[in-house]
Amino acid sequence: MKSSQILKNFPKKTPHEVFTLARLTAFNHSLESSQVFQGGKGINNGRPFDSGDNTRWNTYYIPEITSVIEKYLKLQSNPIALESFVTAQKAMASQMMQVRHFSEMSLLLADKILLQDAITLSNWVSSSRNDKAQDDAERRKIRRARHVRIEEKLEELGWDRALFPTHWNWEWHQLVEQPRELTPRIWKVIHPKLEVFLNKVIADKALKELEARRALRRKELAPLWSVYVQNNALDHQSPIIPNYRDVCDFSPVQKVLFADEGHTPLTEERWNSIVECLPEQIEAFRKQVQYTLLNRLESTRAHRPHLGQESELDGPVPSGMLDTTPLNHASGLFICESWTGCGKVLGGVAAIATHQDFDGMRWSTICATLRGVPEAKSAVTTVLKAVGLPEDTCLETVQDLGDTFLCLCGNPEHRDPMSFTSLMGHIFAENKYYENVIQMKSRLLTGYGFVVRIWQSTFDFDKAGIDFHNDHCLTDAEPFVALLPNSPPLRVAPEDGSADVLVNDVGPTVGNWSMRRSCKYCYAIGQHNNFKIGTREELDYHMRAKHHRNKFEDDDVLPMIDLEQWKASLRKGASTA
């Protein structure tokens, strides 16, 4: 490390006398290289150990030489103290350097010198710490005095002390909490910045107060709006009833509600002054909700806002009559994507309005929580054709049929008659599950990752007879749904007397996952978390419907701890074939 690097953090023309005030040191590999300053020359062990011969080209201990330089520069304004420090420091440095003669002295004398040197060094460390503590105390004193003086000057200029931050604030700290005295020049620089900061505090405070008043006005509107809804029977006109927070966005309501920046309370008299214009506003709002729902019907994902943000309805709404036929058709189905993980299929606006997860929500938030189903039209067309209903059947017609729809798949969980929306939810879920399985199998076949490519290159799913079928395929010629009471038999009929035989008798606790039994064919395809098989009847349905295995053995389901071993044996057998 060159001398320019050790001196770069100090003022130019720093006297080289400072090097005579520190002891020389040989490079010690037990020290980090960043702690040792090495010049261009080594130590000349043949010369007397007098620190007065030290130069910038010798080797020094960085923390020590840095401390010496700092103190030297600090005392330059006091010649007497500087002379005393130089004399004492030179003597101490020379004494500490004598320890390098210990190899030429007796062991006892060397130990004494080492001990004395250690004591001297310890005293120096203690003195340095005390000096640092005093310097820190002095800086705190200056910082506190600066803080107090700045606040006094701001108060003299008319600023309220209540505006000053009581908790740590980075911007305020950068201007006020500095270890430098408040000079006129510094005050001239920071004064405008402080006023900008305080004006921002005032603006933020005013905004919070405004929001608080607006929240209070909205709260005053809620009971008045509830009475209006009851008196005008809005629930009989349309399922789209604006929430009182939706009403706050109506232009006439905003003018009355937030007049005078929300300082004036909303009385019944002020409310009655705008009641006449509400029907027109409500109708426009319903049209905007319908327009937004039509857009969500074509969307494959929800548009939920981020935390703390408000969603908005789509707009502007096209002029003229809005075609709401898609919302009334049997395929007008939505999926609830609320934060509760609902995932329920909702048929039409009426079902959306009464859904429990949407209770008390604004319609903009409700619409943002919904999404359409890409395959809804084809799936509904298939179901309507299977049960003998025309393709243009409206949603109200199929809902009036009640729980008369039956899925013929034979799944033990879905053998009972169900409503149209429940049936469609079951079909959507089965097709989504099949799609996920096929995607996983496709990844295995194309190979992703070294281990998977080895598995793919040594194993053929088709030759092993491992496949996964979709018993709810929308293109099947044979219908898989029917209407009561004239419905054909189930594709996988219940097993007499074996419905309660457990395949898995281990509860789904954290310590028991490894013992739960799972389908080994699903595991081979990549479905590692198939824990739906609980009874013999569920196993029967799964094997027949998903794997087309009419005859199966008990070892078709294995504990999780045995599945990987079985998979490895298949791979080994395929590689030796």
- 70-111 pLDDT, tens digit per residue, is 888 888 888 888 888 888 888 888 777 765 555 555 566 667
59 three-state secondary structure:
strand
- Residue whose tokens read 């189930």: 490
What is the average pLDDT across 307-319? 82
Rounded to the nearest integer, the mean pLDDT of the chain is 82
More confident site: 306 or 566: 566
Degrees, nearest 5: CA angle 529-532-533: 110
φ, ψ for residue 254 (rounded to 5)?
-60, -40
The pair of three-digit structure tokens given for residue 490, joined into one six-digit string: 């189930």
d(CA 427, CA 435): 12
- Among candidate residues 531, 542, 503, the one with its CA nearest the CA of residue 412: 542
**Tens-digit pLDDT profile for residues 420-474:** 999 999 999 999 988 888 887 776 665 544 444 444 444 566 666 778 889 999 8
- What number of other Cβ atoms are within 10 A of residue 151's Cβ? 15
pLDDT tens across 20-36, in order? 777 776 544 334 444 44
526: left (phi over 0), alpha (psi -120 to 50) or beta: left
Least confident span in 14-28, 77-91, 114-128, 471-485: 14-28
State pLDDT tens for residues 219-247.
999 999 999 999 988 878 889 999 999 99
Could you give phi then psi for residue 186, rounded to 5 degrees? -65, -40
Taking the CA of residue 406 as centre, how many other CA atoms within 13 Å lie in the half-sphere pointing to its CB? 16
pTM score, whole prediction? 0.67
Amino acid identity, position 458: T
206, 213 in Cβ contact below 8 A? no
DSSP letter for each residue of 116-178: HHHHHHHHHHHHHHHHHHHHHHHHHHHHHHHHHHHHHHHHHTT--GGGS-SS--HHHHHHHS-
Q: Which residues of 381-393 are buried (b: 16+ CB within 10 A; e: fewer)?
A: ebbbebbebeeeb
DSSP string, 319-342: SS----HHHHBTT-EEEE--TT--
Residue count of the chain: 577
Task: Note if the bond before 63 is cis, omega within 30 degrees.
Answer: no
SS3 108: helix
- Mean pLDDT value across residues 394-410: 93
Higher pLDDT, 462 or 172: 172
Cβ neighbours around 73 below 10 Å, total: 15
